[in-house]
Amino acid sequence: SNFNEGEYKKVGNMSILPVKTTARGPAPPSPDGNDIVEEALVTFKANVFFKNFEMKGDADRVLCYLTLWIQDCLVHLQKINSKVEAGKKLTNEANANFAIPGDASFVLSGLYHPPAANQKDNMRAYLTQLRLETANRFVERVYKD
């Protein structure tokens, strides 16, 4: 990720990166609009073809998580034809109860450290914020008027 070099707060072993969003959460606002959500959307097509992905920093874990979330969004939208319906569906999915690092059902538990007990809510809020913003931008790209 382009954000591996910066100094950011962390939750578990994920960087809390700046995001241009209206969704509430712990991510600071992005000063220039360049954020990890945009990087994930732009690089998605190339990243899904990698058989192996070397984690070079904590921002890469965020990028990897968002790549999997975008793939999940594609699955959820397979049979949806309208932009409004797609937005509702992905908003519901983004806010749904989902596994975080440390949960038994978290898919990539070997790559992510669980958050400290007092940081679980912060991690869930951060991932929800990222999921919502990614879903909103994804719908805008898939369902162009």
Measured distance CA(130)–CA(116) in Å, rounded: 20
C-alpha of 132 from chain center: 8
Tokens of 78: 């397979």
DSSP string, 80-145: ---HHHHHHHHHHHHHS----TTSTT-TTTTTSPPPPGGGHHHHHHHHHHHHHHHHHHHHHHHS--
pLDDT at position 33 is 76
The reported pTM is: 0.93
pLDDT at position 145 is 64
SS3 (DSSP) at 19: strand
pLDDT at position 98 is 94
Q: What is the chain's pLDDT, residue by residue, as a tens digit (145 residues)?
A: 888 888 899 999 999 999 999 889 999 999 887 899 999 999 988 888 777 778 888 999 999 999 999 999 999 999 999 999 999 999 999 999 999 999 999 988 888 999 999 999 999 999 999 999 999 999 999 987 6
Burial environment of residue 141 by CB neighbours within 10 A (0 to 12, 13 to 18, 19 or more): exposed
Measured distance CA(74)–CA(143) in Å, rounded: 12
